[in-house]
Homo-oligomer: A and B are copies of this chain.
Amino acid sequence: MEDKELKDLKEKVLEANLELYKSNLVFFTFGNVSGVNRERRLIAIKPSGVDYSNLNLENMVLVSLDGSLITQGFNPSSDTKTHLVLYNSFSEIGGVAHTHSRFATIMAQSHTPISCLGTTHADYFYGEIPCTDIISDKSIISDYEHETGILIKNTFSKKNIDYKQMKACLVASHGPFTWGKDPSEAVFTSEVLEEIAIQNFYTRLLNPEIKSMKNTLIDKHYLRKHGKNAYYGQ
């Protein structure tokens, strides 16, 4: 008999996957969400190749943080190794989401970071949303999904970005990964990311020379909501 803690984790991950599905960020089975229990050192994640309409508590898959499969019967999402690298690298996140949402993917296909062009962006993401380099042939051939996670991790460390203030990364030629304190926030971040990507895309299209918004305004908007002395929306 399974314990309550794992059931809770699976429930949160199931709900977050269904929320992702309702959000119109995914079409067909393009997307997955996971959640972690750090004390138990395991994650729950969407099974591979199962339609959203057939998701339930029984087919959520448990995998340990070192990659061993815990539950039987269903394979975890093929992107599981990417999720695992993110949990192991970003020690305080509780949920990860991956989509091919339209405009975040278009920006990723353009190898274009999402520069901060307005307060809508700064309300949620502290500065430019990074885009990785194109993954190397060596990484593709050796352990592709694991290396995709490493690519994200290295992008953050090279650019000195704080994953707590920047909960999204575009993987070049691929699409976005997002995260948050739990699976639900990871999905929420995917939804906000898509709207921000749309606004960024069209602003650039009209005005290709547009520069990032000035830092005082980025600071004001991000920090009034997320800083130590936050007062916005509280």
Interface positions of A from 35 to 86, Cβ below 8 Å from B: 48-49, 75, 78
- Count of this chain's copies in the oligomeric assembly: 4
Would A173 and B108 be within 8 Å (CB), given that A195-B27, A204-B206 are in contact?
no
Which of A2-10, A14-22, A154-162, A209-217 faces chain B?
A209-217
On chain A, which size bracket covers the interface?
Answer: 35 or more
Residues of B within 8 Å of A206, CB to CB, are: 106-107, 110, 112, 201, 204-205
Q: Which residue of B lies closest to A198 (CB)?
A: B102
Task: Contacts A49-B233, A206-B204 given; indicate if A120 touches B105 (C-beta within 8 A).
Answer: yes
A229 within 8 A of B: no
Chain B CB within 8 A of A117 CB: yes
Docked Cα-Cα span, A162 to B234, in Å, equals 35
Choice from B28, B105, B199, B216 contacting A140 with Cβ under 8 Å: B216
Do A203 and B110 have beta carbons less than 8 Å apart?
yes
A220 CB contacts on chain B under 8 angstroms: 140-141, 144
Q: Is the CB of A103 within 8 A of B232?
A: no
Q: How far is the CA of A109 from the CA of B112 in the complex (A)?
A: 18
Q: Which residues of B contact A205 (CB under 8 A)?
A: 205-206
Pull 23 A–B residue pairs with CB atoms less than 8 Å apart, ordered by A: A30-B120, A48-B233, A48-B234, A78-B224, A78-B231, A100-B120, A103-B202, A106-B203, A106-B206, A109-B117, A110-B203, A110-B207, A111-B207, A112-B207, A119-B174, A134-B217, A135-B217, A140-B216, A141-B220, A144-B224, A173-B217, A201-B202, A205-B205
- A-B contact sample (10 more), CB < 8 A, given A48-B233, A106-B203, A111-B207: A49-B232, A78-B231, A78-B233, A100-B119, A109-B118, A110-B206, A112-B207, A119-B173, A140-B217, A144-B220
